[in-house]
Amino acid sequence: MKERYKNRIELLQGTLDLLILQTLRWGARHGYGISQAIRADSRDVLQVDTGSLYPALHRLERQGRIAAEWKTSENNQRVRVYRLTKTGKKHLNAERSRWTQISEAIAGILEPGGKAAARG
């Protein structure tokens, strides 16, 4: 029996939001563009499938962290473009620092002598 549709990078769901917000930092993008940016910037490691992307985008929109509007693209096509809001920017900064803390903590566990080794 098919299970409930799962977000494939569910583990990193909070992270997905973070990635989206980050890609919007320097400008507005449409949905396809966001997924491409994430793939590119992660050097093909993270491939966000649309099943996760669009729900995340709508969630962020509902939370007020991104705003969307319809624009006409170069080819005269209608696209929905997302941009970061002030709330989103604040949230992004908070999440970034939290992420840094967590990753350092994990690194500390995985390589206990790491820092020392690095320094040393």
Residues that bind other proteins (CB under 8 A): 1-2, 4-5, 7, 30-32, 36, 49-51, 54-55, 57-59, 62, 70, 77-80
| The token pair that represents 63 in the structure block | 């939370």
Smallest gap from residue 12 Cβ to other proteins (A): 17
Among 97, 88, 95, 84, CA closest to 24: 84
Among 67, 109, 112, CA closest to 88: 67
Q: Which is nearer to other proteins, 5 or 26 (CB)?
A: 5
Smallest gap from residue 13 Cβ to other proteins (A): 12
Q: What is the DSSP letter of 76?
A: S
Q: Which is nearer to other proteins, 10 or 109 (CB)?
A: 10
Q: Which is nearer to other proteins, 10 or 119 (CB)?
A: 10
- All residues at 6 or more sequence positions from 56 whose CB lies less than 8 Å from its CB, including other chains: 13, 16, 17, 20
Smallest gap from residue 33 Cβ to other proteins (A): 8
